[in-house]
Structure 1
Amino acid sequence: MIIRKYTSSDWNQVKTLFELNTPKYFAPEEIDDLNDYLETYADTYFVIEHNKQILGAGGYHIIGNKLGRLSWYFFNPESKGQGYGTKIVQHSIDEMVSKNDLESIEVWTSQYAEKFFRKFDLKTVKIENNFWAKGIHLYLMRRSL
């Protein structure tokens, strides 16, 4: 298992993983938002590979100088429960904290991943129903550093 920076040649595999998580975790139209995100923040976006196959992706970006935001995490549903998510999120947290003088980190997620992100001491500070799509609610989670 390796974690490495995303490259544009990964797009097809990442897009396929996104589609495997649609519509339960993401609205289909969010694929355009993901593409826009990667055009801006590819340098802090990662993929996790096992046997040369991408099993998941996610990254972060910095807002202002003091807030780090975890963004766009999704995985092959067949790899759920094998620790890949924990490894790539921790990798992102470690990198963003070591490279920046942050006061807090946050994630904008849904009710489906809220329990997962609690593992990283993130606490829900806001819930907005039907934010991402009908039935997919925003869970804004934050942790002070």
Structure 2
Amino acid sequence: MRPYRQEDFEACLALFDSNTPSFFAPEERAAFERFLLKGSGRYFVLEEEGRVVACGGVALAPDAYPACSGGVPLPPDSSGLTWGMVAQNLHRRGLGTQLLQARLGWLRAHAPHVREVRLSTSQFTAPYYARQGFRPLNVTPDGFAPGIDAVEMRLEWLTPGLNGEGQSGQP
């Protein structure tokens, strides 16, 4: 995982497009473009053989929780995951888990005060995040677009650790 650079803009848009309309609604693209153009220093890409195959970021308080969550302010001990995606033709190869674990690792290294991680996802990817220890908080039918619900989820960390170590709700 490396930090996003402006030259990754088109590659990240291509990742978004590859997941539309299965995982993102076409009308969400403009919000993702605005997000990328802000040049967040906490957005990352995964490369495979020199090409961007996944992207995703983190938000820390006092940042607003991602725009897809209505811009809700994050509590001081919270973080949010932002705009995570893998090229659709590369799903089920472990890249999403690699991206998630890298972002959680970044939080452990750079924001040790964080005790919970929030995200807003669809009903299509919520089961994946549930397997990673995230618990649903709220479901808004058609919250992203018609047919795409917004599922708010949270992962609590009781003590520091990576790869599930020290996370509540983990086996």
TM-score category (smaller protein): over 0.9
Checking the alignment, whether the CA contact within 8 Å between 2:9 and 2:36 is kept in structure 1 is: no
Q: Hey, what does 2:147 align to over in structure 1? A: 135
- 2:84 aligned with 1:86: no
> 1:116 Cα deviation (Å)?
1.3
State which of 110, 114, 121 in structure 2 corresponds to 1:102: 114
Higher strand share: 1
State the AA in 2 paired with 1:117.
Answer: Y
Percent identical: 24
Contact persistence 2:140–2:149 (CA under 8 A): yes
Q: TM-score, normalised by structure 1?
A: 0.92
**Are the equivalent residues in 2 in contact too, given 1:59–1:89 (CA < 8 A)?**
no
1: distance between equivalents of 2:108 and 2:127? 22
Higher relative contact order (CA 8 A, sep 6+): 1
1:28 equivalent in structure 2: 26
Q: Gaps (5+ residues) in structure 1?
A: none
Please give the residue correspondences for 1:1-145 in structure 2 after superposition, counting only pairs within 5 Å.
3-40=1-38, 42-64=40-62, 65-100=76-111, 101-145=113-157
Q: How far apart in 2 are the matches of 1:120 and 1:41?
A: 28
SS of the aligned residue for 1:78 comes to helix
SS state of the match for residue 121, structure 1? coil
Question: How far has the Cα of 1:67 moved from its partner?
Answer: 1.0
The structure number with the bigger radius of gyration is 2
TM-score, normalised relative to structure 2: 0.79
Aligned length: 143
**Does the CA-based 8 Å contact 1:7-1:42 persist in structure 2?**
no
CA contact (8 A) 2:6 2:39 kept: no
Cα–Cα, structure 1 residues 111 and 44, in superposed 2: closer, same or farther, change >3 Å?
Answer: same
Query: Structure 1 CA distance, aligned partners of 2:33 and 2:150?
Result: 20
Post-superposition CA distance 1:35-60 (Å, at most 9, x none): 22224462111111111111111111
**Which amino acid in the other structure matches residue 72 of structure 1?**
W
Contiguous gaps of at least 5 residues in structure 2: 63-75, 158-171
